[in-house]
Structure 1
Amino acid sequence: MITRAASIPTVTTGARVPRTTSLHVFCVVLVVAVAARPLLAGAAAAPGLRTAATVFVAVCLQALPFLVGGVLLSGLIAAFVSPAALRRVLPRSPVAAVPVAAAAGLVLPGCECASVPVARRLIGQGVPDAAALAFLLAAPAVNPVVLVATAVAFPGEPRMVLARFLGSLATACAMGLLWQRAGRAEWIAGRARRPATAGPGGRWAVLAETARHDLVSAGGFLVLGALAAATLSVLVPPAWVEALAGRLLLAVVVMAVLAVALALCSEADAFVAASLTALPLLPRLVFLVVGPAVDVKLVALQAGAFGPAFAARFAPAAFVVAVLSACAAGWAVL
Structure 2
Amino acid sequence: MSLTKSAPDEAEPVGEPTGEPIGEPAEELGGEPGEQPRHLTSPLLLVLTLLTAVMFQDTIRRALTAPVTQSWMTVFVAVVLQALPFLVCGVLLSAAIAVFVPPSFFARALPRRPALAVPVAGAAGAVLPGCECASVPVAGALVRRGVTPAAALAFLLSAPAVNPIVLTATAVAFPNDPEMVLARFVASLLAACVMGWLWHRLGRADWLRPPARPSHGGRSRGAAFWESVRHDVMHAGGFLVIGATAAATLKAVVPAEWLRAAAGDPVLSVLALAALAVLLSLCSEADAFVAASLTQFSATARLTFLVVGPMVDLKLFAMQAGTFGRAFALRFAPATFVTAVAVSALTGAVLL
Q: Normalised by the size of structure 1, how large is the TM-score?
A: 0.70
Structure 1 residues 241 and 297: CA distance shift in structure 2, 3 A: farther
Q: Deviation at 1:254?
A: 0.3
Query: What is the aligned counterpart of 1:325 among 343, 348, 351?
Result: 343
For 2:111, the equivalent position in structure 1 comes to 91
Q: Among 287, 292, 313, which residue is 1:269 paired with?
A: 287
User: Which residue number in structure 2 is paired with residue 159 of structure 1?
Assistant: 179
Deviation at residue 305 of structure 1 after TM alignment: 3.1
Aligned partners of 1:32 and 1:182: how far apart in 2? 55
Offset at residue 228 of structure 1 (A): 8.1
Residue aligning to 1:178: 198
Cα gap change, 1:197 to 1:288, in 2 (>3 Å) = closer
Deviation track 1:180-201 (CA, whole Å, cap 9, x = no partner) reads 22223343444x24357997xx
Mapped to 1, the partners of 2:316 and 2:172 lie a distance apart of 25
Task: Indicate yes or no: 2:172 matched with 1:146.
Answer: no
Aligned to 1:114: 134
**Cα distance per residue 1:220-244 (max 9 Å; x no partner):** 8779978986997798636332332
Match of 1:295 among 313, 332, 335: 313
Inter-partner Cα distance in structure 2 for 1:224 and 1:245: 28
1:147-196 CA deviation, whole Å, 9 max, x = no partner? 22223322332322221111101111011112222223343444x24357
8 Å Cα contact 2:90-2:285 kept in structure 1: no
Query: Relative to structure 1, is the Cα distance of residues 198 and 243 closer, same or farther in structure 2, using a 3 angstrom cutoff?
Result: closer
1:110 alignment partner, SS class: coil
Deviation at 1:129, TM superposition (A): 1.5
Cα RMSD over matched residues?
4.0
The answer as to whether partners of 1:117 and 1:214 remain within 8 angstroms in 2 is no
Q: Deviations over 1:124-145 (max 9, x none)?
A: 2222221111111111111122
1:249 aligns with 2:267: yes
Determine the structure 2 residue equivalent to 1:74: 98
- State the shift of 1:314 in Å: 2.0
Would the alpha carbon gap of residues 96 and 186 (structure 1) be closer, same or farther in structure 2, given more than 3 Å must change?
same
CA distance in 2, matches of 1:241, 1:157: 22
Q: Which amino acid aligns with 1:273?
A: A
Aligned pairs for 1:130-141 within 5 A: 130-141=150-161
CA offset at residue 87 of structure 1? Answer: 3.4
Query: Once the 2 structures are TM-superposed, how far is the Cα of residue 82 of structure 1 from its aligned partner?
Result: 6.6
Mapped to 2, the partners of 1:287 and 1:104 lie a distance apart of 23
More off after superposition, 233-242 vs 295-304: 233-242
- Which 10-residue stretch deviates more, 260-269 or 249-258? 260-269
Decide which structure has the larger Cα Rg and report it: 2
After TM superposition, give the deviation of residue 318 of structure 1 in Å. Answer: 1.3
Partners of 1:270 and 1:226 in 2: CA distance: 11
Consecutive unaligned residues of structure 2, counting only runs of 5 or more, are 1-36, 54-59, 65-71
What is the identity, as a one-letter code, of the residue corresponding to 1:76?
F
**1:255 and 1:286 in contact (8 A); partners too:** yes
Partner of 2:123: 103
SS in 2 for 1:91: coil
Of 204, 207, 211, 2:221 maps to: 207
Percent identity of paired positions between Structure 1 and Structure 2: 49
Aligned residues: 293
Q: 1:244 to 1:194 in 2, by over 3 A?
A: same
- In the aligned structure 1, how far is the partner of 2:127 from the partner of 2:184? 17
